[in-house]
Amino acid sequence: MATSPQQQQLHGAFPGRVKQIDQILGFMGKPLAPTPPSLLINGNSSLGKTAVIKATLSAMLGQSEPERRRPSRYAFLDCVECHTPRLIFEHAIYQLRNPPPTQEKGPTLSSIGAGKKEAAEGTLTGFRKRKRVTHSPLEWNKCDNVNEFIEWCRKICDTQDDETDNTSSSGNQSSQSPGHHHYQRPSTSSKHQNETRYLVLDRAERLRDTAPTLIPVLMRLQELTGRNICVILITTIVWEKFRSKTGGYEPIVLNFPQYTKAETVAILRKDLPEDEDLDMFMRFVDLVYDVFQRNCKDLNEIRHLVALLFPLYIKPVKEGKIQKHEGLKLHRHIQAYFVEAMDKLYLREISSTEWSDRTLSAASGSLISSGHISGAPGSDRTLITALDVQNTFDLPYYTKFLLIASFLASYNPPRLDMRYFAKVSNQGGKMTKRSKIAAAKKHGHDNMGSKLRQQLLGPKPFPIERMLAIFYSILDEEVEENVNVHTQIASLVSLRMLQRVTPMDKLDSIKCKCNVSYETIKSLAKSTKFEIDKYLYDFS
């Protein structure tokens, strides 16, 4: 059973996970107590599932110095690395037969709670690169099927520590037959024979891609082996998606809920940079949470944004331009960076390093761009509001023309398609100013064209056939035979650049509308050397 100091340190290391830690410790019980056959830990990503399980098993099953050579009581596997049943079986056998990994300086729960950057998610702070013990390691054992794995689990649980030590000490003398270890049934008085072993499978949703009988076998591993073995599955999906037609045992489900604002702020408090003011950092954390929490529920993303934006937040304070207590001025100063981070960084249009370099260079006034955002009067802060679409909007050549054709079909009246896109026209498809004014008066527009100007009304739906006709008209060359135009249209729909307005069950006369701004289309047209303004009617 967990001792009170260890349990308190676990609570302090993982804010917001006190209830889950107590439940896990309750399921574990004493070393010789029976445990549930299986346990399912589920929840969204970045909620501390893996970190809590690792810390709890390491703290509760950690061995004292005289017991360092005893085999480990738990195996921790990543189903992305162990993507086949054989890899799962062999890695589990190897970890359960060997002593646990050692470190140069063992991690303590106090070091976890000290507040470094990975205390709550992914990996534990203070855990350095771990290496296996080097004193007489056991050989790698092959395991090809479930029956062999079950037999290995029985042998591992029944092997006495004395036999393991003898096997290890005589490893160098038995070099004539490596890989073969003879096990003997121990006496019933073995001290550690009935201790619980734990098999932890992280990202367990990958198990659904393996053999269909693997998950039912893992759920019944305690029954099949007749030993005290608990299987723990860590996943981001619900148990209903694991169920198979053959049926099987149901695990105990433990859900990790989403962090509240207080819990998120408590975790971000641990990321306080050295020699920085705590009150100022907490005000910034609260501000970042209020701005990004509606669109971003991932704790790792918020921590990443805090680490990148906080140096920009305190820069005017260090330069003496703004005082620490002037929160309104600091908010106005950082607001433009919030917009830029949400538009570019969070959407992954540019990398974090590139965004940081561009922002810092813009803030220092060394980057000249037409898209500057000026701050308060007297501030030399500048910022790029838009990147060159040609660099960040990397689309195939024909897909760019399809997107341009969809924009023309959305904003040009269908009655003018013959004038603009007919190949027989000698004027190149360009309407004169007098013709535009006459057409505007005919359809109820004033001289400025502002009554029913299409760009003010938004894009109109158009048939796919009309867009393809415009596409083949504006393209000066024939489309290659290996180019599938309809596949590229489907890609534009999936990228939300085209929006389908007809129901999905309607397969004929499909209609879409363009979902891209004029600035984006103009940049794409410039990259393809296409004069978009020449083919737009009443557009400014």
Please report, rounded to a whole number, the percentage of residues in the chain having pLDDT higher than 70: 68
What gap in Å lies between CA 164 and CA 156, rounded to an integer? Answer: 10
List b or e across 194-216, with b for residues whose CB sees 16 or more CB atoms inside 10 angstroms.
ebbbbbbbbbbebbeebeeebbb
The H-assigned helical ranges of 183-295 are 214-219, 221-225, 261-269, 278-292
Average pLDDT score over the chain? 75
Token pair in block for residue 516: 């891209």
Cβ–Cβ contacts within 10 Å for residue 241, how many? 10
pLDDT bin (cut points 50, 70, 90) of residue 237 is very high
Residue 389 confidence (pLDDT) above 60: no
- What fold, for 5-106+114-125+137-162+189-255? Rossmann fold (3.40.50)
Q: Tell me the domain boundaries of the chain.
A: 5-106+114-125+137-162+189-255, 261-392, 397-535
The H-assigned helical ranges of 341-463 are 352-363, 389-392, 397-411, 417-421, 433-442, 454-457
* pLDDT digit string, tens, across residues 27-38: 988 878 889 999
* pLDDT digit string, tens, across residues 420-478: 887 654 444 455 545 545 554 444 444 444 445 666 677 889 999 999 999 988 887 88
pLDDT: is 108 or 384 the higher one?
A: 108
DSSP per position, 276-293? --HHHHHHHHHHHHHHHT
